[in-house]
Amino acid sequence: PRAPCRCGSAADTQALTGFVVNYLGQHAIELGKEPSVYTAANLFKLIAYNNKDNLLAGFIIAGYDDKRGGQVYNVTLGGSLVRVPVACDGSGSGYIAGLMDAEYRPKMTKAECLAYCTKAVAHAMCRDGSSGGLIRTMVVDKNGIEEGVIEGNKLPYGP
């Protein structure tokens, strides 16, 4: 399972995601199995980098595969690819980078990770007018992707 999170121009990130999904589908047929998370992240990077003068697109790609286990990759605006333990991007990320650094701990439980992410995004929403409405969460592990939503009136922190 893989899950991309997008930041930048909505049109650019939607188009690039569509291309990557298409290429990964073709590659899966060639391989006879799902491509690795790194392959997915690398495709995002290649297209973003090769079009860096024409796109405003950044991505966080998280996933799980049998080869490398759980992984998080950051594809920056401009197309650099970096494997990271935790990532934040987008317009609200500047408000919460310090909070995320201060509160991140390796080997957190699922509940701790969800609380950590929810707190961080709620703080970003409070400061950034472009981050908002509700929080969507995705837990990615060997069992698949579990999606969740926290509505704006149920956030742990607000203005």
Percent of the chain topping pLDDT 90: 77
Residue 3: is its pLDDT beyond 90?
no
Residue 82: is its pLDDT beyond 70?
yes
Q: What is the pLDDT of residue 156?
A: 80
Contacts 24+ apart (CB under 8 A), 83-89: 87/60, 88/60, 88/120, 88/124, 89/5, 89/7, 89/58, 89/59, 89/60
Residue 151: is its pLDDT beyond 80?
yes
Task: Quote the mean pLDDT of the chain.
Answer: 91
What pTM was computed for the model?
0.88
pLDDT average, residue stretch 76-98 = 92
Angle between helix 93-103 and helix 110-127 axes, rounded to 10 deg? 150
